[in-house]
Amino acid sequence: WCIYPTYDFTHCLSDSIEGITHSVCTLEFENNRPLYDWILDELKVHHPQQIEFARLNLSHTIMSKRKLLELVEEGYVSGWDDPRMPTLSGLKRRGYTPESIRKFCDIIGVAKANSIVDMVQLENCVREELNKTTQRVMAVLRPLKVVIVNYPEDKVEELEAINNPEDASMGTRKVPFSRVLYIEQDDFLEEPPKKFFRLAPGREVRLRYAYYITCEDVIKDKKTGEVVELQCRYDPATRGGGSPDGRRVKGTLHWVSANHAFEAEVRLYDHLFTKRDSTDVEEGADYKSNLNPKSLETLTSCKVEPGLEGAAPGSRYQFERLGYFFVDTTDSSAKKLVFNRTVSLRDTRPAPGPPTQY
């Protein structure tokens, strides 16, 4: 048998025929370069230059097309555009912008040594851009009912909210304020630790763009003991978030008006794999043993401010105090809003180490 190295012929000749000037390959093709050069020299045809570089390997994910295909075909992800996937379609559906991906590539550059680049660098690129470009809105992911007992039942105020403090040209919007509100469950503790500055019994906090409120009573479910409602009192003199007598509060909470809010589904995405190097497994184990069982949390009873009614698929917002969110381009509709978390406001995970080289 005469077995001809068909790839080695195809690679260099197709590059030559197509007029390629620089053929950029990954490091495993470095050994093929002498043959690449020899064929073109012997045939005396246009000779591109082959250049090798290291693959881009991201932490907490996997870049192998074969392994990504396994995740899709075996149902570990919903498809190639699942927002947890490191594919361009997956990043797009999660809310990453072309500009943030290009900036990430500029920052990491091109290397000759194989290494793992931490996902935090990519997340920081999209955070920096979205901070400058996205409208701020208020959304409550895990609602806790708040009743302001001294606020008139039939009164509704339109309060002015800033769309983006980084860009004054984006202007302001009106948000409704009423007697019954929703705040985040995490923003209340019945027995707060020393450095907890949010709402607690007898404590006063500021509602963003609104008033100071003080928690006076806590209503619990009689069967489960779960806190289901807070009864609070507001100070009418503190409209806009300031106090005429100069008193200060340490906590500022976001909120939505219960009678005006829209319900939405919010999908909270995290790393696809628990380990920085997804292929780091014990002997006999499969890389899928490192899959993160908490890579997706779906919240179905979130409350968003009324200005988000009819938010177009592909729109991006900052949910104040929570993170950056993208209106899903596949599942969101006028009847059912679906938001994908692109990235949190800040990374609360342990600081990554230096790039891993191998």
354 vs 318, residue with greater confidence: 318
Decide: 138 and 166 in contact? Cβ < 8 Å.
no
Domain boundary, last residue among 211, 237, 254: 254
Domain count, the chain: 3
Nearest C-alpha neighbor of 328 from the set 319, 341, 318? 341
147 and 250 fall within a common domain? yes
152 and 215 fall within a common domain? yes
pLDDT band at 4; cut points 50, 70, 90: low
Q: CB under 8 Å to 103, separation ≥6 — which residues?
A: 125, 128, 129
Instruction: Return the percentage of the chain with pLDDT > 70, whole number.
Output: 96
pLDDT of residue 354: 57
Angle, CA of 136, 138 and 139, to the nearest 5°: 130
pLDDT band at 114; cut points 50, 70, 90: confident
The answer, yes or no, to whether residue 93 has pLDDT greater than 60, is yes
- Summarize the confidence of residues 116-139 as an average pLDDT: 97
pLDDT of residue 71: 97
pLDDT band at 241; cut points 50, 70, 90: confident
241 and 320 fall within a common domain? no
Boundaries of domain holding 216: 139-254
25 and 75 fall within a common domain? no
The CATH number that applies at residue 44 is 3.40.50.620
Phi-psi region of 290 (alpha: psi -120 to 50; beta: other; left: phi over 0): alpha
246 and 290 fall within a common domain? no
- The answer to whether the pTM exceeds 0.85 is yes
Residues in the chain, total: 358
pLDDT digits (tens, 9 = 90+) for 7-65: 888 999 999 999 999 999 989 899 999 999 999 999 999 999 999 999 889 999 999 99
Domain boundary, last residue among 254, 284, 308: 254
| 356 falls within a domain | no
